[in-house]
Structure 1
Amino acid sequence: MIHEVDEALRGLLRAEVIAGGQIAIVFEAPTREWAAKVNAPTVNLYLYDIREDMRRRERGLHNEYNEAGVIVARRRPPRYFKLSYLITAWTKRPEDEHRLLSSLLISLLRHDALPAAHLPGALAELGIAIPMTIALPPPEDRSFADVWSALGGELKPSLDLVISVPVTESPVYPAGPPVTDGGVSVGMTNTAEPTGER
Structure 2
Amino acid sequence: MIHEVDEVLRALFRTDVLEGAQIAVVFDAPTREWAAKVNAPTINLYLYDIREDMRLRERGLHNEYDARGVVVARRRPPRFFKLSYLITAWTKRPEDEHRLLSSLLACLLRHESLPSERLTGALADIGVAVPMTVALPPPEDRSFADVWSALGGELKPSLDLVVSVPVTESPVYPVGPPVTDEGLRLGFTDHDPQGPPAGSTARERTPAGAELPIYGRQPGRPDPAAREPGTGEPGAGTSPGAERRRQAGIGRRISEERRG
Common topology (TM > 0.5)? yes
Correspondence 1:113-132 to 2 at 5 A: 113-132=113-132
| Structure 1 position 181, deviation (Å) | 4.1
Correspondence 1:87-126 to 2 at 5 A: 87-126=87-126
Letter of the structure 1 residue corresponding to residue 29 of structure 2: A
Match of 2:47 in 1: 47
Correspondence 1:158-169 to 2 at 5 A: 158-169=158-169
Match of 2:228 in 1: none
| Structure 1 position 189, deviation (Å) | 2.8
1:57-93 Cα distance to aligned partner (Å, 9 max, x none) = 1111110011111000000111000000000000000
* Count of residues in correspondence between the two structures: 196
The 1-side partners of 2:247 and 2:54 are apart by 68
Letter of the structure 2 residue corresponding to residue 60 of structure 1: G
The 2-side partners of 1:164 and 1:195 are apart by 72
Partner of 2:106, secondary structure, is: helix
Match of 2:241 in 1: none
Partner of 2:9, secondary structure, is: helix
Q: Residue 37 in 1 paired to residue 26 in 2? A: no
The 2-side partners of 1:195 and 1:17 are apart by 91
Q: Under a length normalisation based on structure 1, what TM-score does the superposition of the two structures give?
A: 0.95
Q: Under a length normalisation based on structure 2, what TM-score does the superposition of the two structures give?
A: 0.73
| Structure 1 position 46, deviation (Å) | 0.2
The 2-side partners of 1:144 and 1:108 are apart by 19
Letter of the structure 2 residue corresponding to residue 129 of structure 1: A
Match of 1:60 in 2: 60
The answer on whether the counterparts of 2:128 and 2:166 sit within 8 Å (CA) in structure 1 is: no
Which region of structure 1 is more displaced relative to structure 2, 120-129 or 130-139? 120-129
Which region of structure 1 is more displaced relative to structure 2, 145-154 or 111-120? 111-120
Letter of the structure 1 residue corresponding to residue 189 of structure 2: T
Identity %: 78
The 1-side partners of 2:155 and 2:120 are apart by 33
Partner of 1:189, secondary structure, is: strand
- Deviating above 3 A after TM superposition, structure 1's stretches of 4 or more consecutive aligned residues are 193-196
The 1-side partners of 2:32 and 2:113 are apart by 32
The 2-side partners of 1:144 and 1:99 are apart by 21
1:125-170 Cα distance to aligned partner (Å, 9 max, x none) = 1111100001011111110000000000000000000000000011
Match of 1:73 in 2: 73
Match of 1:134 in 2: 134
Partner of 1:186, secondary structure, is: strand
Match of 1:20 in 2: 20
Letter of the structure 2 residue corresponding to residue 151 of structure 1: L
| Structure 1 position 180, deviation (Å) | 3.4
Greater relative contact order (Cα 8 A, min sep 6): structure 1 or 2?
1
Q: Residue 145 in 1 paired to residue 145 in 2? A: yes
Q: CA RMSD in A?
A: 1.2
Match of 2:251 in 1: none
The answer on whether the counterparts of 2:114 and 2:129 sit within 8 Å (CA) in structure 1 is: yes
The 1-side partners of 2:128 and 2:183 are apart by 39
Partner of 1:162, secondary structure, is: strand
The 1-side partners of 2:187 and 2:85 are apart by 66
The 2-side partners of 1:7 and 1:49 are apart by 18
Gaps of 5+ in 1: none
